[in-house]
Structure 1
Amino acid sequence: MELPLVTTVTTLLLVLIVVVTCQEQRFNCPPEYCLRVKCVSDEFCPKNETLLPTFCGCCRRCVPVIGEGGTCLLLFGAPLTSVCQKGLHCCSGICQRECP
C-alpha cells in the first residue's frame, strides 16, 4: 500500500527538522573541561575493537569494529558507539564498501 504524497512529504519534513535541530543543539565542551576529567581509557582494546575519542576528546575508549553488512549508526554531534572496518562506510545504517 503506497503512502499518499502528503504523508510522505510530511514525514520527510519532520525528519529534516529533527536532523537540523540535533545539529543546532550539539553539546559544546566547556573551556578547560578536559583538565577536570580523569580518564580510565585502555591503551589496548580486545580483538575486533578499536580506540576512539570520547565525547569531548579528553580520553579514548574501546568500541566495536563492524564488518561489511553489519549495522552501524551515525548520530551527528554524538560520539560513535562503533565504527565500520577500514575501507567501509556507514551507508543507510549498514557498513558498505561504497554508498549508493
Structure 2
Amino acid sequence: MSLEQQLIERLQQLSPSHLDVVNESAGHGGYFPGKESHFKAVIVSEAFAGLRLVQRHQKVYAAAGDLLGPGSIHALAIHAYLPEEWKGQDTSSPDCAHAPKP
C-alpha cells in the first residue's frame, strides 16, 4: 500500500468531514517517479474543537505516527480546520527552491 493511502487511512481516525491528501513530492528536489516524501493534508474535523493550531498539528502528527520520519514521509504540510472555519481557503503550496527545473 502506498504511503499516501496509508496516510489517508491514518487520518480517517480524526473523523474528517473533508480530507484531501496530496502527494507533492514531484515539486521537490531529488524527485523520481513513484517517490513519496512530501505531502499536504487538508483536514476539516470536529476533533479540532477547542484546540490551538499547534495542538491540531500534534493530533495530526500522532495520527500519522511512524509514517513520518527517515525513509518515509519527509515533510507534511498541515491545514487543519473546524467545519465552521472551512470556507474553501487557499491551501496551495509555495514552489520549492530545490524543485526540478523544467
With the shorter chain as reference, the TM-score category is under 0.3
Using structure 2 for the length normalisation, give the TM-score.
Answer: 0.23
Comparing both structures, which one devotes a greater share of its residues to helix?
2
Q: Relative CO higher for 1 or 2, CA cutoff 8 Å, sep ≥ 6? A: 2
Using structure 1 for the length normalisation, give the TM-score.
Answer: 0.23
